[in-house]
Structure 1
Amino acid sequence: MTKNYLILDILEKTARRRPEKNGVIDAWGSCTYRQLAGMSQRVGSGLLNWVDPGKPVGIFMEKGINALTAFFGSVYAGGCYVMLSPQLPAPRLAQMAHVLELKVVIADDQTWEKASEIFSGQKIFNINDLKAETENQKGLALIRKNMLDTDPLYIMFTSGSSGVPKGVAVSHRSVMDFIDTFTGLFHISASDVIGNQAPFDFDVSVKDIYSAVKTGAKLVIIPRRLFSNPSGLLDFICSHKVTTMIWAVSALCLVTTFHGLDYKIPETVDKIMFSGEVMPWKHLKSWMDHLPDTVFVNLYGPTEITCNCTYHVVERNRDYSRGLPIGRPFPNKGVFLLDEQNREIKEAGKVGEICVRGTDLALGYFNAHEATKKSFVQNPLNKAYPETIYRTGDLGCLDDFFDIYFCGRKDFQVKYMGHRIELEEIERAIHNVPGVSRCCCVFDEKKSRLYGFYTGTISKGELSVKLKEMLPAFMIPTSLKWVEGMPLTPNGKTDRKALASGII
C-alpha cells in the first residue's frame, strides 16, 4: 500500500473518492475535485521544462480556482509555489522576485499586463494557456518519483528587519502533519463548507485550502470586495451555508464593529477559529452571544512553524478577565518557554520566549542563510544530538493550569492587522523618502494602532502618498506625526517610550 506523503497524494485521493463533488467555489465559478486535479496536472505538464526541482514559481493573480491550479501545477512540475499578490506595490514584488531568484511567473488575463511590467526578467505563463496543455503523465511521473516530503511546498513572505522581505519555505511533510492533526482535532469532514477569508499569501489560507483538500470539504473562496460590505458578506456566508470559518481576528471584528450580526446570523456556522492578533473580548462575546452553539478556538503560531502551534477552545462559562490564553500545544508540536539564560520556564507567571520544536518547523528562510541561523537554532535544552527549534521572538507565560498566555514581542516585531511586521522595515522605508530626516515607529498594542514619527520638510500627506507606493497597506502607519526632534535616551538612542507616552 502506497503511503500518502505529498500534498499531491491527498489531492488525487480526494479526486478519486469524490470526483464529482463541487469542491471549490470562487467569484468566477466552481470546479469538482476531479477537475481541480486534472487542471493542475495539465498546468504541471506545461511547466515541466521550465521549473527546476524545489525552486519557486510565482503565482501573480487574485485568489481563486486558477490560483489553486497554479499552486498544484507548480508542485506537479517539481517546484514549489509562492503567491505574489497583485495588491502589493511593484517595488516590493520586485524585491520578492529578487530574493527568490525567480525564473517563472504564472499570471491570468487580468494581471498579464502588470506582470509583464514588473517581472520583465522572468518567463511569464498565462494560466489559461497552461490549463489547455495536454497531460504528460510520463513526465509528471518521472518528476514525482524523485520528490520527497521534505521538499518545499510553498514559500510565504514575512517582513524582514534588514529591509528585505523573508520568504519562509515550508515542506510537504510539515503541512501534511499539521493538517492531519488540525482536521482531526476540530472534526473537519467532507460535510463541511469552509468559508475562506484570508488572502492566499497569508498562512491562515493554508488551513482553508488543505483542510478542504484533505477531507473533501467544500472550499468557498469569499470575494475580497465583500470584506468592506458586512451585510453582503453575511448574505454570502448564509447563502453558501458555510459551517467553518478560519479567519483573522481583524475580519471577525469588521463584522461586529458594524453590527453585522444584528442584520443576519450565519446559523450554519458551527466552528470559528481565529488568529493573527489578540482577539478583543467584546467582539468575541458578540459572536458567541449570536452563535450560542458554535465552537470558538483561539489559535497561535508564526508562519515559521506551519500555521499554528497552540490552541485554546473558548469555554463559555470561564472567567477571561486575565485575557484569552493562546492555550496548549497541538499534538506533535513541542512548545516551551526559555528565559534569558536559555533555561526552561515551568513556573506560572514568569515570562519567557516562546520556542517551538517538531516536524512542523519550516525549512528556513529562502536564500537567507544568516537569518535562518539566527531564528532556527539548536535546542539549548538538548545536548545529546542535533535538534532544531524555532525562537518565535514572542513572549509568553504559563498559568497554574499550564495554559500559555501571549505577553508581547521580544523585539520590535509586531502583529498588526493580522500580519507580522517589523518596525525597522517601515522605518527604513520612511527614511528613504526625500524630505525625511529621522523617523521612528511605535506600536500601541492595546489600541492596535501603528504610529510613525518623523522629522523633516515633507508634509504628512506627501509622505503618506510615497509610502503607499512603497509598502503594503498593512505596513503603513495608522497616523503619521511630524515632530521637531526625536527624544533620546541617555545612551543616545531614540526614546521610543517618550514618543509612546504622548499617544497612549
Structure 2
Amino acid sequence: MRSLTHLLVSALTKRPGRTVLLDPHGSITAGDLLSAARGVTTVLQKNGVGEGHRVGLLLERGRDAAAATLGTLLCGASYLPLDTLGPAERVASVLAHASVRAVLTDRSLPALADPVTTTWNGHQFVLDRGNLGTLRPAQHGAEGFLSGTEEDAYVLHTSGSTGLPKGVRVGHSAATSFVTWAQEAFSLRPSDRVAWLAPLGFDLSVLELHAALWAGATVLAVPRKATVFPRDLLAFLERESVSVLYVVPTRLLRLAEVLEGPAPRLTSLRLALFAGEVCPPRPLAKLMAALPWTTFANLYGPTETNVCTCHVLSSPPLEVPPLGRPCPGQVVRVVDAHGRNVEHGEGELWVGGPTLMSGYLGDPEGTERCLVEDPVGTPPGHPRGRLYRTGDRVRRTESGALHFLGRDDCQLKRGGLRCEPGEIEAVLQRHPLVARALVELCAGELLAHVELLRPLPDPGRELRLHAREHLPAAMVPERVLVHAALPLLPNGKVDRLALRGHS
C-alpha cells in the first residue's frame, strides 16, 4: 500500500500541464501545484519541521490549502486543519494539545488572536496567493519525504464529550485506502469537475480534494458565499459545470428549494453524494425527480472510519434511505448489549477495516474504550483486529442492508458536524454564574437548560455570547431555559428524561 504522499505526487506528475484546481482567485496546473507544495516543504524543513511532526493549517479552501496539505506531507509531517471561523480559544487549545510544530495561515484571514499566540510558541508562516508562486523547492531534497503507510497523514478534530475537541489520527494507509476506494467506487475520472465545499477539517474534504486529484479530475473550490446561500451555490455549480457534488443532506436539500422554472437545471451533475446526517425522504425524492440524470448515493461513516457503508438510490425514496451495505474490505458488526454479533436485528454498529483511524491524539484511554476486539474474530487478511464502536444503533435486514435507528448516547449531529452535548455543557458551566447545564436538541434547535447561582438580567443573551467565545457557531445554543434547580438523579447527574417535559 502506497502512502497518500506517493499517491498525490504520482497523480500530479502524470499531467503536469493540466489545470487541476480553481479557486475564486485563479487556477493552478498539476506541475505548479506540485512545485508550490515542494516550496512549502522547503520552508517547513528549514524551520525544523520533519517526520512525525504536526503542522496546523489555518486556511480556506483553495490553491494555498492544497499546496499546504501536500507540502506538509512531503516533509514527513501530518497536517492538522484549524477552524478558520472558530473561536481563538478553541484553536489555541487544539494547537497546545496537538503539540503543533508550525502553522500555515492566510493573509486574508484574521491574525491568530492573543489567546492563541500567548499559549503557543511555534512557527507561523503566511501562505497566500501573493507568495504561493514564489515558493520554490530547494535544489537538494526537493522531492521531500514520502511517508511510510503507518505514519499519520492528517488529524481531524471532532467534538468531545469531555469538554474538549478530540483529535482523530488517520494514517497514510487508511487515507490511501479511502481515496483509492472512492475513485473506483464512483468512477472519478479526468473529465470530472468536483466541487470542494467542505472545510479541510471535515472528512468530506478528503474525497473532494485528494480523491479528485488522484483521479486527475479538476477541483473547484467553492467561494464562502456560495456555501451559505443556496442560490449562490446553484449558480456556482451551473457556471462551473460541476459533475460531482459531495455534501451533507441539509445543504443538498436546500438546492431543491431553489430549483425553479421548467428549464432543466444542473445538467452537468452526474453524481450527488450525501453523508453526515439523516436525509428526509420527501425533499430528496423531489430533487431526484428534478435531476433524473444524476446518480444519488447515501454514504455513512464517522470520522474514525471515514465511509464504511454506501447505498446508491435506484429511485426516489418513500422513506429515509438506508445506510446501505459495507464497502469492500470493511468489517461491519451489529452487536447486542452483551457484545454478541447479531446477524439480523438491532444493535450497536461496530466498524473496522482498512480505513480505520490509528487512534485519538494524546488519549490512549479513549482509544482503548472505542477500539475493541471483533466479537466474531479477525477475518483472514484483515489488517487490524480492532473495531470502532460507533455508538449508532442500527437494524440489519435479511438482505444485509443497515438502517439507522438513533444514538446509544447523547451525541448530536448538526449540518453533518458532530456535537457532543458534554462539550457545550462544559463551556456553559465555565461561566461564573452557571451552576449546572444540560444541552439537548429540540425541534431542530440546541436548547440549553441552566441552573444559575444568581439571576442574570438577560441570561439567554449573556450565555450565548459566552458560548460564542469558546465554541463553533454550530454548537452555540439557540435557546436558553433557566431553571430554579435542575432535576438530579440519585448519582448526582442531571436527569435528562425529567427535563423533556420542559422543552
Q: Residue 135 in 1 paired to residue 137 in 2? A: yes
Change over 3 Å in CA distance of 1:54–1:137 after alignment to 2:
farther
CA separation in 2, counterparts of 1:384 and 1:359?
Answer: 12
- Equivalent residue letter for 2:138: N
Q: Indicate the SS of the match to 1:168.
A: strand
Does structure 1 conserve the Cα–Cα contact (< 8 Å) formed by 2:88 and 2:112?
no
Instruction: Specify the alignment match of 1:222 in structure 2.
Output: 222
CA separation in 1, counterparts of 2:67 and 2:161?
Answer: 33
- Equivalent residue letter for 2:467: L
Does structure 2 conserve the Cα–Cα contact (< 8 Å) formed by 1:10 and 1:213?
no
Alignment of 1:156-305 (within 5 A): 156-256=156-256, 259-262=257-260, 265-305=265-305
Query: Deviations 1:448-480 (Å, cap 9, x if unpaired)?
Result: 332111122231111111111111011112322
Instruction: Specify the alignment match of 2:432 in structure 1.
Output: 434
Q: Residue 312 in 1 paired to residue 311 in 2? A: yes
Query: Deviations 1:428-467 (Å, cap 9, x if unpaired)?
Result: 11111122222111124xx433211112223111111111
Deviation of 1:234 (Å) = 1.1
Query: Deviations 1:259-300 (Å, cap 9, x if unpaired)?
Result: 211167211111101011001112212211210121110111
Query: Which range moved further: 372-381 or 160-169?
Result: 372-381
Does structure 2 conserve the Cα–Cα contact (< 8 Å) formed by 1:442 and 1:499?
no
CA separation in 1, counterparts of 2:117 and 2:282?
Answer: 45
Change over 3 Å in CA distance of 1:237–1:384 after alignment to 2:
closer
Deviation of 1:141 (Å) = 4.6
Instruction: Specify the alignment match of 1:118 in structure 2.
Output: 116
Q: Residue 340 in 1 paired to residue 337 in 2? A: yes
Q: Indicate the SS of the match to 2:339.
A: coil
Change over 3 Å in CA distance of 1:161–1:329 after alignment to 2:
same
Change over 3 Å in CA distance of 1:137–1:309 after alignment to 2:
farther
CA separation in 2, counterparts of 1:317 and 1:83?
Answer: 36
Deviation of 1:14 (Å) = 2.3
Change over 3 Å in CA distance of 1:192–1:427 after alignment to 2:
same
- Equivalent residue letter for 1:63: R
Instruction: Specify the alignment match of 2:36 in structure 1.
Output: 39
Of 340, 350, 356, 1:355 maps to: 350
CA separation in 2, counterparts of 1:204 and 1:268?
Answer: 21
Of 378, 388, 391, 1:390 maps to: 388
TM-score, normalised on structure 1? 0.92
Q: Indicate the SS of the match to 1:251.
A: helix
Does structure 2 conserve the Cα–Cα contact (< 8 Å) formed by 1:77 and 1:140?
no
Q: Residue 68 in 1 paired to residue 66 in 2? A: yes
Query: Which range moved further: 328-337 or 374-383?
Result: 374-383
Change over 3 Å in CA distance of 1:432–1:426 after alignment to 2:
same
Change over 3 Å in CA distance of 1:18–1:469 after alignment to 2:
same
CA separation in 2, counterparts of 1:112 and 1:492?
Answer: 43
Q: Indicate the SS of the match to 2:304.
A: helix
Does structure 2 conserve the Cα–Cα contact (< 8 Å) formed by 1:196 and 1:247?
no
Change over 3 Å in CA distance of 1:433–1:185 after alignment to 2:
same
CA separation in 1, counterparts of 2:446 and 2:441?
Answer: 5
Does structure 2 conserve the Cα–Cα contact (< 8 Å) formed by 1:354 and 1:394?
yes
Query: Deviations 1:231-254 (Å, cap 9, x if unpaired)?
Result: 222111101000110111221133
Deviation of 1:142 (Å) = 6.7
Change over 3 Å in CA distance of 1:7–1:116 after alignment to 2:
farther
- Equivalent residue letter for 1:179: V
Instruction: Specify the alignment match of 1:455 in structure 2.
Output: 451
Instruction: Specify the alignment match of 1:368 in structure 2.
Output: 363
CA separation in 1, counterparts of 2:316 and 2:271?
Answer: 18
Does structure 2 conserve the Cα–Cα contact (< 8 Å) formed by 1:43 and 1:131?
no
Q: Residue 377 in 1 paired to residue 372 in 2? A: yes
Deviation of 1:131 (Å) = 5.6
Of 403, 408, 411, 1:410 maps to: 408
Change over 3 Å in CA distance of 1:491–1:6 after alignment to 2:
closer
Change over 3 Å in CA distance of 1:110–1:351 after alignment to 2:
same
Deviation of 1:112 (Å) = 6.6
Does structure 1 conserve the Cα–Cα contact (< 8 Å) formed by 2:92 and 2:115?
no
Query: Deviations 1:360-397 (Å, cap 9, x if unpaired)?
Result: 10111111111111111222332899711111111111
Instruction: Specify the alignment match of 2:155 in structure 1.
Output: 155
Q: Tell me, which stretches of 5 or more residues in structure 1 are unaligned?
A: none
Change over 3 Å in CA distance of 1:374–1:131 after alignment to 2:
farther
CA separation in 2, counterparts of 1:149 and 1:271?
Answer: 30
CA separation in 1, counterparts of 2:378 and 2:291?
Answer: 49
CA separation in 2, counterparts of 1:338 and 1:451?
Answer: 32
Query: Which range moved further: 111-120 or 283-292?
Result: 111-120
Size of the aligned set, in residue pairs, is 489
Deviation of 1:172 (Å) = 1.4
Q: Indicate the SS of the match to 1:227.
A: helix
Instruction: Specify the alignment match of 1:9 in structure 2.
Output: 6
Does structure 2 conserve the Cα–Cα contact (< 8 Å) formed by 1:379 and 1:387?
yes
Deviation of 1:327 (Å) = 0.6
Identity %: 30
Q: Indicate the SS of the match to 1:471.
A: coil
Q: Indicate the SS of the match to 1:498.
A: helix
TM-score, normalised on structure 2? 0.92
Instruction: Specify the alignment match of 2:328 in structure 1.
Output: 331
Does structure 2 conserve the Cα–Cα contact (< 8 Å) formed by 1:312 and 1:327?
yes
Query: Which range moved further: 262-271 or 398-407?
Result: 262-271
CA separation in 1, counterparts of 2:105 and 2:378?
Answer: 48
Deviation of 1:28 (Å) = 1.4
Deviation of 1:16 (Å) = 2.8
Q: Tell me, which stretches of 5 or more residues in structure 2 are unaligned?
A: none
Does structure 2 conserve the Cα–Cα contact (< 8 Å) formed by 1:60 and 1:115?
no
Does structure 2 conserve the Cα–Cα contact (< 8 Å) formed by 1:11 and 1:37?
no
Q: Residue 27 in 1 paired to residue 36 in 2? A: no
CA separation in 2, counterparts of 1:76 and 1:116?
Answer: 31
Does structure 1 conserve the Cα–Cα contact (< 8 Å) formed by 2:241 and 2:268?
yes
CA separation in 2, counterparts of 1:330 and 1:34?
Answer: 33
Deviation of 1:135 (Å) = 1.5
Does structure 1 conserve the Cα–Cα contact (< 8 Å) formed by 2:88 and 2:113?
no
Q: Indicate the SS of the match to 2:259.
A: helix
Deviation of 1:304 (Å) = 0.6
Deviation of 1:140 (Å) = 4.3
